[in-house]
Structure 1
Amino acid sequence: MNRVASHDRGSVTAEFAVVLPAMLAVLAVVLSSLMLATQRLSLGASAAEIARHEARGDHATAGMHLARVGNAVTVERTLHGALHCVTLRSAPAAGLLAALEVSATRCAAVSTEETA
């Protein structure tokens, strides 16, 4: 019969108590990274839509997309030659990530066609 020595009793509990905070910290970092990546993808898709519509001159539809993004997002528009670029910047929701800034820039070719 395998008997545990009296000086080894509780060692599993102590090891678990040491490892648990480290595992929770790693989990928090992974979840935060996923949240930031998701927000960046969302900003990128919105910036692409807004840039496309504004480059075609469809400012009403671009305004609708911009309204869906929300008030917490800052918008910067630049023109690089024949490209109309839109940059969206936003801070993550709250907590430690609020100190970071997520941004995405997308460009679209400016339409030179005249509409009748």
Structure 2
Amino acid sequence: MRSPWGSRRPDPGPGPDPDPGHCDCDCDRGSVTAEFATVVPAVLLVLAICLGALQVVGQQVRLTDAAADAARSLARGDSVGRAAGLVQQAVQGASMTPERRGEFVCVNLSAPSSFAAFAAFGLTLRAGSCALGGGL
């Protein structure tokens, strides 16, 4: 049965509320703001970790390329100093270990993470590459 007042409730006037479950007050006022203030730091933390991970992946790619360049340079007969200079241009703070494996000249590189939060946990990136000696 439809109410004669349509979808609007009649004003009950003074006296007890005929619908005690109904609340005209703004009881939840500010709860959205509080929830938002709680969620924002968590979202920012996840975003910062994702951006840091992207930075570390980029550093790993540069380290791998520098290892290949250094191995080719040493295989051509360049000095260790020149190869180390190539590595330092690509990745600051990387350490290089050259070695000979039969006919191959290999270079192993390691560098601490460039993202401070990951470096604090001791994340060290490593890359290696080999090139056929004699410039081939």
Could you say which TM-score interval applies, normalised by the shorter chain?
Answer: 0.7 to 0.9
Match of 1:78 in 2: 99
Is 2:55 the counterpart of 1:35?
yes
The equivalent position to 1:65 in structure 2, one of 86, 90, 98, is 86
Indicate the structure with greater helix content: 1
Cα separation, 2, equivalents of 1:71 and 1:51: 18
Match of 1:21 in 2: 41
Is 2:65 the counterpart of 1:48?
no
**Contact 2:110 2:124 (C-alpha < 8 Å) held by counterparts:** yes
Normalising by structure 2, what TM-score? 0.69
How many residues matched? 111
For residue 77 of structure 1, give the secondary structure of its aligned residue in structure 2.
Answer: strand
Is 2:96 the counterpart of 1:106?
no
Over the aligned positions, Cα root-mean-square deviation in angstroms equals 2.5
Cα separation, 2, equivalents of 1:104 and 1:30: 22
Cα separation, 2, equivalents of 1:31 and 1:52: 32
Query: CA, structure 1 residues 100+9, in 2 after alignment: closer, same or farther (shift >3 Å)?
Result: same
Q: Which runs of 5+ in 2 are unaligned?
A: 1-7, 9-23
Q: Which runs of 5+ in 1 are unaligned?
A: none
Query: CA, structure 1 residues 82+96, in 2 after alignment: closer, same or farther (shift >3 Å)?
Result: same
Large movers: runs of 4+ above 6 Å? none
Matched residues, percent identical? 35
For residue 8 of structure 1, give the secondary structure of its aligned residue in structure 2.
Answer: coil
Cα separation, 1, equivalents of 2:82 and 2:69: 9
Match of 2:117 in 1: 96
CA deviation vs aligned residue, 1:39-93 (integer Å, no higher than 9, x gap): 1111111111110010121227525414524662111122333222111111123
